[in-house]
């Protein structure tokens, strides 16, 4: 029983007992003032009334004892009214009939209140038991249907979708002519942190392609220059500065707008005319784990293998939020999302209910670009922006697959960069056929950083890689 219910019952019980004692004393006080010999006949009645009162006050009364005392009380009440009727008005005190009547009604009220609190059934009622049984049966039925649906999808399994998905304009071929240029607030290299990740060569290549194409998509949509972006950011430590050696995983892109810090994880899965959905699967030790899978919109069968939905983004969101809260950063809200990237076969459907653990939303690339287009520009002049930028810059992975660590000096070998070292994005001349102009490089590299050897564009006052003054 809830605490508030137990407190209410205790209060109600105390009030009923107090009321019963008060009414008994008041009734007895009026009866001792009866001046006729009938008063002696009420001595047994008064004794019985005290017995009734004590019985009601008792905390271990049984149902049988309650019924017995109720019968005795009924006899006392009738005898009292009989005495009142037979006694001459001048022989009984004024108000005796009224007081005796109030006493009887008060005890009846106590009986009702006591029965409602003391003799309440301890277990569920038959109706509740029936509803619980029906709910259990419905849950079992749904479990059976879910299993049957999984078997049916498995029986219709296909390696690739039956037909292509919808074209977004951000497929790899559509991004081939987009040449990335480093804008003023771009840190790290898309895909660079995957080199030392330990993944297979094909997985690294697919992951690097996803990160690079996301950066190109931001550039093509005119969004890359509006925000600060950090690429291949290692998961921060739970407490204090730096990274967590127990979790060398990374966030593909951390993007700072004018109001949010976006933690974005690219998924370069095979697509096509499919609908993605969240589900669960049984792992090798029998545990239920979250997964996502693609369903062919033509056959209804499962496409390819189910993908494990890890808790990485949930962990990253919790830790970044904790770090910002501890540092008093209030300018930004933390938002985590999984970005489904288009493939040569197009893009599948990603419903809003497709999530990773912790409620991290998954969405198709065009939807994410729409979210970002509504965001205000990054303002580098605020103290929170300067602080967050410096913190994130210490978490960027290099080609070794790890972020910088104290006591371990970096190697001075020039990185194999996928991003041209320049300071602006300059569109090419409009093509004759009216097609989308590719993004080209503005050759504005002016000098080299004395600390790390990276190129510094004209007009830059510091090195974007190490932060040294130009």
Distance in angstroms (rounded) separating the CA atoms of residues 346 and 336: 24
Whether the pLDDT of residue 354 is over 90: the answer is yes
- Residue whose C-alpha is closest to residue 350's, from 265, 273, 262: 273
Distance in angstroms (rounded) separating the CA atoms of residues 461 and 459: 6
CB 4 within 8 A of CB 46: no
Report the SS3 class of residue 160.
coil
User: Exposed, middle or buried: residue 350 (CB in 10 Å: 0-12, 13-18, 19+)?
Assistant: buried
The percent of residues above 90 in pLDDT, for the chain, comes to 31
- What is the model's pLDDT at position 142? 87
DSSP label of 197: S
Q: 48 pLDDT band (50/70/90 cuts)?
A: low
Q: What is the β-pairing status of strands 250-256 and 260-267?
A: antiparallel
- What is the model's pLDDT at position 440? 36
From residue 379, alpha-carbon distances to 263, 333, 408 in Å are 18, 15, 33
Tens of pLDDT, residue by residue over 192-207, are 655 444 445 555 566 6
Measured in residues, the chain has a length of 470
Whether the pLDDT of residue 357 is over 90: the answer is yes
Which residues, other chains included, contact 265 with Cβ-Cβ below 8 Å and sequence gap of 6+? 251, 252, 312, 313, 336, 337, 338, 339
The percent of residues above 70 in pLDDT, for the chain, comes to 63
Mean pLDDT of 278-296: 88
Q: 7 pLDDT band (50/70/90 cuts)?
A: low
Tens of pLDDT, residue by residue over 182-193, are 888 999 888 765
Report the SS3 class of residue 243.
strand
Find which of 3-7, 69-73, 124-128 is predicted with most confidence, using mean pLDDT.
124-128
- What is the model's pLDDT at position 192? 65
Q: Which helix (H) or strand (E) holds 230?
A: strand 228-234
Tens of pLDDT, residue by residue over 159-184, are 889 999 999 999 999 999 988 888 88
Distance in angstroms (rounded) separating the CA atoms of residues 113 and 66: 13
User: Exposed, middle or buried: residue 126 (CB in 10 Å: 0-12, 13-18, 19+)?
Assistant: exposed
Whether the pLDDT of residue 413 is over 60: the answer is no
Residue 243 zone, left/alpha/beta (φ > 0; ψ -120 to 50; rest): beta
- What is the model's pLDDT at position 444? 37
Residue 407 zone, left/alpha/beta (φ > 0; ψ -120 to 50; rest): left
Whether the pLDDT of residue 134 is over 70: the answer is yes
CB 323 within 8 A of CB 151: no
Output phi, psi for 130, to 5 deg.
-65, -40
- What is the model's pLDDT at position 401? 72
Q: Which helix (H) or strand (E) holds 3?
A: helix 3-31
Distance in angstroms (rounded) separating the CA atoms of residues 203 and 298: 28
Tens of pLDDT, residue by residue over 297-317, are 999 999 988 899 988 899 999
Average pLDDT over the chain reads 76
Whether the pLDDT of residue 97 is over 70: the answer is yes
């Amino acid at each position: 029983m809830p605490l508030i219910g137990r407190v209410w019952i205790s209060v109600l019980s105390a009030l009923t007992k107090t009321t019963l004692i008060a009414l008994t004393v008041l009734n007895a006080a009026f009866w001792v003032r009866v001046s006729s010999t009938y008063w002696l006949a009420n001595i047994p009645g008064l004794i019985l009334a005290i017995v009734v009162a004590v019985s009601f006050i008792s905390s271990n009364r049984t149902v049988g004892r309650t019924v017995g005392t109720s019968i005795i009380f009924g006899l006392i009440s009738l005898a009292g009214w009989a005495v009142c009727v037979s006694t001459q008005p001048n022989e009984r005190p004024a108000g005796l009939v009224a007081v005796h009547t109030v006493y009887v009604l008060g005890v009846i009220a106590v009986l009702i209140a006591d029965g409602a609190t003391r003799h309440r059934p301890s277990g569920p009622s038959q109706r509740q038991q029936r509803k619980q049984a029906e709910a259990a049966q419905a849950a079992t039925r749904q479990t059976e249907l879910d299993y049957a649906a999984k078997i049916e999808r498995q029986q219709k399994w296909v390696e690739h979708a039956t037909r292509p998905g919808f074209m977004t304009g951000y497929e790899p071929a559509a991004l081939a002519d987009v040449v990335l240029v480093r804008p003023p607030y771009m840190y790290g290299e898309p895909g660079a942190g995957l080199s030392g990740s330990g993944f297979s060569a094909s997985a690294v290549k697919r992951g690097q392609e996803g990160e690079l194409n996301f950066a190109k998509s931001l550039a093509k949509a005119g969004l890359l220059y509006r925000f600060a972006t950090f690429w291949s950011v290692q998961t921060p430590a739970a407490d204090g500065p730096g990274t967590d050696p127990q979790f060398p995983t990374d966030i593909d892109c951390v993007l700072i707008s004018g109001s949010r810090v976006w933690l974005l994880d690219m998924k370069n899965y095979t697509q096509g005319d499919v609908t993605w959905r969240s589900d669960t699967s049984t792992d090798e030790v029998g545990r239920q784990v979250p997964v996502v899978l693609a369903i062919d919109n033509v056959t209804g069968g499962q496409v390819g293998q189910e993908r494990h939905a890890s808790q990485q983004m949930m962990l990253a969101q919790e830790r970044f939020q904790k770090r910002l809260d501890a540092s008093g950063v209030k300018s930004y809200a933390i938002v985590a999302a999984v970005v489904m990237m288009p493939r040569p076969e197009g893009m599948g459907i990603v419903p809003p209910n497709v999530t990773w653990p912790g409620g991290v939303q998954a969405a198709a690339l065009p939807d994410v670009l729409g979210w970002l287009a509504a965001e205000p520009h990054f303002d580098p002049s605020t103290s929170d922006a300067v602080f967050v930028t410096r913190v994130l810059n210490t978490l960027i992975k290099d080609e070794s697959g790890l972020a910088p660590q104290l006591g371990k000096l970096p190697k001075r070998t020039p990185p194999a960069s996928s991003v041209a070292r320049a300071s602006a994005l300059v569109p090419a001349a409009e093509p004759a056929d009216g097609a989308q102009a590719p993004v080209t490089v503005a050759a504005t590299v002016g000098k080299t950083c004395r600390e790390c050897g990276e190129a510094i564009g004209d007009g830059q006052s510091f090195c974007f890689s190490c932060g040294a003054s130009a």
